[in-house]
Structure 1
Amino acid sequence: MAGPGIDYRAIFEASPSATLVLDPAFVILDANPAYQQLVGRTREDLVGRYVFDAFPQDDASELADLQASLRRVVENRAQDVAGFVRHDIEEPDRQGVFAERYWSPVNAPVLDSGGRVSLVVHRLEEITDLVRAGAPDVDHRHRRMQLELYARSRELQQVNERLREANARERAVALALQEAMLPAPQPLAHHEATVRYRPAVNTLNVCGDWYDVTRLPGGEYAVAVGDVVGHGLAAAGVMGQLRSALSAAIRVVDGPAAALDALDLYARSVEGALSTTAVQTVVDPDRRRITYSSAGHPPPALTDPGGEVRFLDGATDPPLGAAPDHSPRPQATTAYRDGSTLVLYTDGLVERRGEDIDRGLRRLADRLAKYHVLDPEELADRLLGLGLAADDTAVVVVRL
């Protein structure tokens, strides 16, 4: 554990805080002198033993609370504070006489280069004077307040644990619903299309993004992406309604703007749908042109066979339902050359907190210029690497 110029072993040995080092299975790897003195055991008594075998608990609830705290550290890779615990320690000058001692355990992870928990630091803060009844040097009202705070802290930890479990269940259900509502794109007669969806990591900020690739009756095909405000099951439900509505509208109306007009009217009647962004394109392979319209969404990117990138930003309007009154949306058309690449995406690919979106668009343009010759599957994977894991991301790549 030594680093340049710092003897971490010496720091560990000299620390006044009673500290154990555990492996991820909670076997004791080391104990500093402060810990040995506090509990009245030598390093040889402790090292190599399962921490709960070294200190068996009379109170099952205390044992369960400490076990849960250590598990949370390993699962969440974050510091956790357990409720206070009691260990009766034999008094050094009175053999067979044990004194009540109470500690507040603080547990923290040590991560390896891959982000996995390699060690757990278990530190004890003694609170015996706060717990022991009748201590003459402790104000009774202050002691009661401290005990109440410890009890509330323990209750809050249990509530947080239940919330984490509930959130994990909701996330799993929402992702399953998302997967069911985002099938593979339909095969295209003239072109090749691929899609990617990456949920956000370690967060409920998932399930608001969608994509759709649809063949139209006249030989054209429609490509769309959208992003619902919100997350979890509620966003997944709204996403499913809007995706289906836009997919139906583009089949029966004349062009992307009319489809987004219909979706705007529909969104005003769906709870949670306002301020959704979406972009709809229609590709005409015979005329080699793309018609598009955007409702507040980042612009599609069109890369020609030589690697020149331009963003289709000539027909952008506010998000769905954002304008006080409904009005017709704009629409634009652009030509393309055989071998060009059309990319639609959600904001998770280009937006970063505290950064102007233009920088994200430049990163995307640079990546497209560099890798545009790759097949759509490989290109989609390269593009997905641009985004951050803090937000879910959808990407559609079409080789024209």
Structure 2
Amino acid sequence: MTQPGIDYAAVFRRLPSAVALLTPQLMFVDANEDYLALSGRTPGEVIGHFLFDVFPDNPGQAKASGMRNLGASLRRVATTGERDAMALQRYDVEDPERPGQWNERYWSTVNTPVLGEEGRVVLVAHRVEEVTELIRARGGPEGGRARVLEAELYSRARELQEVNERLRRAHAREREVALALQAAMLPAPQPLRQHRVAVRYRPATGALNVCGDWYDLVDLPGEGDRIGVSVGDVVGHGLPAACVMGQLRSALSAASRVAEGPAGALEVLGLYARSVPGAESTTAVNTFVDWEERTVTYSSAGHPPPALLRADGTVEFLDQATDPPLGARPEHVAGPQAVVPFGEDDTLVLYTDGLVERRGEDIDAGLARLADVLARHRGAGPERLADAVLGELLPPGGVTDDTALVVVRL
């Protein structure tokens, strides 16, 4: 039997808790009946307005940190996509009928991200519960204990704010150093004979989430017109991941120059990774492009498959030669390798998982988005195609993982 449709708007209005919906820029989109009643505001005074225009800080409480902490929590949720249950906070509310009259209020708050189809935060659900009476009751008739508790709350909030600020500066410094180290170790874009190639690297939004991804382009020795193209992703973040990345990229670059094929180069890299702390479970894909044979030979170690964009807009994912990540097998075995032919004006696209993976969805959805973007921009050159792919697939607010991208016109 078909169940009747649920009126979620009506459910939201009658939730037994005070809830408001905010944009990532902290503009009110909606507020339910309990929220409006609790705050003493009408829908017109709230919806469409900036949160802290509706509820500004109490000018008589210069040392109060409740509003600052609330703003930090909401922005953190909007940036990271992670739920945040705040510690008990005091932030006073101005009486709407008596401007300048502020009422002392205590709140328990939970901020929860609402994700869109692409996995980025489109709204923040802001749930509040007033606990003012509970705090006052704990202080007894004269409110002495409540004042002690208030002072403790302010003191702890200030200490937490100072710790968070120190951590933020330390993380920002680590991010800066790690990015500089990675930039020094990744090859600078340069012409490979007459071939047209575009490379892109976009660091993660978070300070501790950068520097595990790499790309490499190798002019292969010997007769013929051949290049090697690879990308990889180290498990881990920050400076340790940047150091491991540099070692593995250099090792694969050297192995590709002497190996008979990409699988052989990845076998060497897998053996080397066993001796490098932090290299476990690294993923990588290696391709050899031969213009005389007009073939792409490829091998993957647990990495998302390269995409071969045909001139007619068809997209083929190269997933017929995939092994587990480096060092995942208990014993060393020869890796798989496959060959695919290419035609005039086909395009090879290699990337890391930050381009296609989103929290809470299957990777097939990300691969489908990539195929759609490639097909729609099939006539673009490598530089324009790379910009289009990043522009349409990466959320405007950034992602929580690095993204490396290599586009080769065949």
Q: Same fold (TM over 0.5)?
A: yes
**In 1, Cα distance between equivalents of 2:168 and 2:150:** 27
Q: Deviations over 1:295-334 (max 9, x none)?
A: 0111111122222221211211000011111111111222
The one-letter code of the counterpart of 1:391 is D
2:206 equivalent to 1:208: no
- Bigger mean CA offset, 181-190 vs 274-283: 181-190
TM-superposed deviation, 1:232? 1.6
Letter aligned with residue 394 of structure 1: A
Could you say what secondary structure the match of 1:394 adopts? Answer: strand
Aligned to 1:348: 354
Which residue matches 1:164? 168
Give the match for residue 384 of structure 2: 378
Question: 1:145-164 counterparts in 2 under 5 A?
Answer: 147-148=151-152, 150-164=154-168
Q: Structure 2: how far apart are the matches of 1:229 and 1:188?
A: 30
TM-score by length of 2: 0.68
Counterpart residue number, 2:180 = 176
Contact 2:313-2:374 within 8 A present in 1 as well:
yes
Question: Would you say 1:268 and 2:278 are equivalent positions?
Answer: no
Find the counterpart in structure 2 of residue 42 from structure 1.
none
Identity %: 55
Relative to structure 1, the CA distance from residue 213 to residue 70 in structure 2 (aligned partners, 3 Å threshold; closer, same or farther) is same
Equivalent of residue 398 in structure 1, options 385, 388, 408: 408
Residue aligned with 2:393, SS:
coil
Which has the higher mean CA deviation after the structures are superposed, 144-153 or 300-309?
144-153
SS in 1 for 2:296: strand
- Greater Cα offset, 369-378 or 299-308: 299-308
Give the match for residue 94 of structure 1: none
How far the C-alpha of 1:268 sits from its partner, in A, is 0.9
Matched, 1:228 2:234: yes
CA shift for structure 1 position 178: 2.1
Per the alignment, in what secondary structure is the counterpart of residue 264 of structure 2? helix
The residue correspondences of 1:245-324 to structure 2 (distance < 5 A) are: 245-324=251-330
TM-aligned CA distance change 1:192 to 1:129, over 3 Å: same
* Equivalent residues of 1:130, 1:147 under 8 A apart: no
Per-residue deviation, 1:161: 2.5
Task: Give the C-alpha shift of residue 192 in structure 1.
Answer: 0.5
The residue correspondences of 1:20-169 to structure 2 (distance < 5 A) are 55=60, 62=63, 72=72, 136=142, 140=145, 147-148=151-152, 150-169=154-173
Matching residue of 2:17: none
Per the alignment, in what secondary structure is the counterpart of residue 404 of structure 2?
strand
In 1, the alpha carbon distance for the partners of 2:393 and 2:361 equals: 14
Residue aligned with 1:339, SS: coil
Matched residue SS, 1:322: coil
Matched residue of 2:163: which SS?
helix
Structure 2: distance between partners of 1:355 and 1:173:
32
Q: Give the aligned CA root-mean-square deviation in angstroms.
A: 4.5
How far residue 256 of structure 1 moved from its aligned partner, in angstroms, is 0.8
Cα distance between partner residues in 1 of 2:38 and 2:321: 66
2-side partners of 1:171 and 1:327: how far apart?
37
Structure 2 match to 1:43: none
3-state SS, counterpart of residue 235 of structure 2:
coil
Q: Which residue of 1 aligns with 2:221?
A: 217
* CA–CA separation in structure 2 for the residues paired with 1:302 and 1:194: 15
Shift of 1:397: 0.4
Structure 2 unpaired stretches of 5+: 1-12, 14-29, 79-83, 93-102, 112-120, 122-129
Alpha-carbon separation, structure 1, partners of 2:57 and 2:368: 53
Distance in 2 separating the partners of 1:30 and 1:261 = 61
| Unmatched tracts of structure 1, length 5 or more | 1-5, 32-49, 87-100, 110-114, 116-123
- Inter-partner Cα distance in structure 2 for 1:344 and 1:164: 33
Contact 2:174 2:207 in 1 (8 A): no
Mapped partners of 2:211, 2:74: distance in 1:
27
| Equivalent-residue separation in structure 1 for 2:73 and 2:365 (angstroms) | 37
Whole-Å separation in 1 of the counterparts to 2:359 and 2:209: 14
Cα distance 1:243–1:103, how it changes in 2: closer, same or farther (>3 A)? same
SS of structure 2 residue aligned to 1:272: coil
Aligned equivalent of 2:100: none
- Structure 2 distance, partners of 1:393, 1:263, is 21
CA distance in 2 between partners of 1:185 and 1:396 (Å) = 10
Counterpart secondary structure, 2:336: coil
Q: Structure 1 residues 233, 153: closer, same or farther in 2, change over 3 A?
A: same
CA shift for structure 1 position 182: 2.1
Contact kept in structure 2, 1:186 and 1:215, CA below 8 Å: no
Counterparts of 1:102 and 1:359, CA distance in 2: 49
Equivalent pairs, count: 347
- Structure 1 residues 298 and 291, CA gap change in structure 2 (3 angstroms): same
Give distance in 2, aligned partners of 1:251 and 1:262. Answer: 12
- Residues 81-119 of structure 1: CA distance to partner in whole angstroms, max 9, x if unpaired? 898799xxxxxxxxxxxxxx987699999xxxxx9xxxx
